[in-house]
Amino acid sequence: MPDDLLQRLRRFHDDYFPLHEDRFRSLVDHGQQPTTLFIGCSDSRLVPYLLTGAAPGELFIVRNVGALVPPYNGLHGLHGTAAAIEYAVLNLNVQRIVVCGHSHCGAVKALYEEISPEAKNLEAWLDLAREAVLPVQVSPEALRRTEQRSIVLQLERLMDYPMVRSRVEQRRISLHGWHYVIEEGEVHVFDVKDGRFLRASESEHSGTGPYHDVDPDTGSIFNEIDSAWACPEGVLKGKSS
């Protein structure tokens, strides 16, 4: 059986690398300075470089099942995603954090199904999206809404990271919620002002602002969220929608 992977590795070295050698060498000489932390689902159909047209050195990527953000307080044990967030913000000084979920997400679907008792880690992990589940019969529409609600939930949890919250409040970091619809070839971006997802082709921004000023009572930087998208506890901190 031919070793496909070996052939691809050789093709990268022989064909791709020579064309971009200067850039790779520069990234080694000067170090990486990615501007964006991309937190994406591990799904093989989600290809961050294709979606964003990013070149090497532009995206600091962490991926996991469901594009979920663990709590800052460490209650979920040791977690690489939390470490990546801290590193990207404190060491790399990223200016944007993208949370990118997608249509037909197996993690979201699993929230409505029974999970194998052997998959203890998976079950615990999916709790990070449990609040996004809707009390309805599962349907394509319910799944899509749950996927989007989960993305907002993760943005909200990101704001529990003190180094993220302070920089968002100082407008040094922007948060972006993306729902990639595979079959449309389009990302729907979260509009914090309207509290809903808009097609990138119809949006004036890439899934962030405009933020209003920080609410002194709630500490929220987000505007009211359309109740249709709100999680039971209020989709974003301090809101009781």
Beta bridge partners, 176, equal 98
Distances, alpha carbon 14 to alpha carbons 9, 19, 51, 219, 235, in Å: 9, 9, 25, 53, 49
- Which of 5-13, 102-110, 205-213, 230-238 is the region at the interface with Zn ion (rule: CB under 5 A)? 102-110
Asked whether 41 and 66 are in contact (CB, 8 A), the reply is yes
Q: Does 110 bind Zn ion (CB under 5 A)?
A: no
Closer residue to Zn ion (CB): 151 or 221? 151
Q: Does 105 bind Zn ion (CB under 5 A)?
A: yes
Number of residues counted as binding Zn ion (CB under 5 A): 4
Nearest approach in angstroms of CB 43 to Zn ion is: 4
- Which of 8-16, 33-41, 79-87, 151-159 is the region at the interface with Zn ion (rule: CB under 5 A)? 33-41
- Which of 105-113, 122-130, 182-190, 194-202 is the region at the interface with Zn ion (rule: CB under 5 A)? 105-113
Nearest approach in angstroms of CB 215 to Zn ion is: 32
Q: How far, in Å, CA of 235 to CA of 229, rounded?
A: 7
**Residue burial 125-161, b: 16+ Cβ < 10 Å; e: rest:** bbebbeebbbeeeeeeebbbbbbbbbbbbbbbbbbeb
User: Can you tell me which of 36, 37, 43, 168 binds Zn ion, judged by CB under 5 A?
Assistant: 43
Q: Does 37 bind Zn ion (CB under 5 A)?
A: no
- Which of 98-106, 161-169, 195-203, 232-240 is the region at the interface with Zn ion (rule: CB under 5 A)? 98-106
- What amino acid is encoded at 135 in this protein? P
Closer residue to Zn ion (CB): 105 or 187? 105
Q: Does 41 bind Zn ion (CB under 5 A)?
A: yes
Return the HEC string of 16-58.
HHHHHHHHHHHHHHHCCCCCEEEEEECCCCCCHHHHHCCCCCC
Closer residue to Zn ion (CB): 105 or 126? 105
Q: How far, in Å, CA of 210 to CA of 12, rounded?
A: 41
Which positions lie near Zn ion, rule CB under 5 A?
41, 43, 105, 107
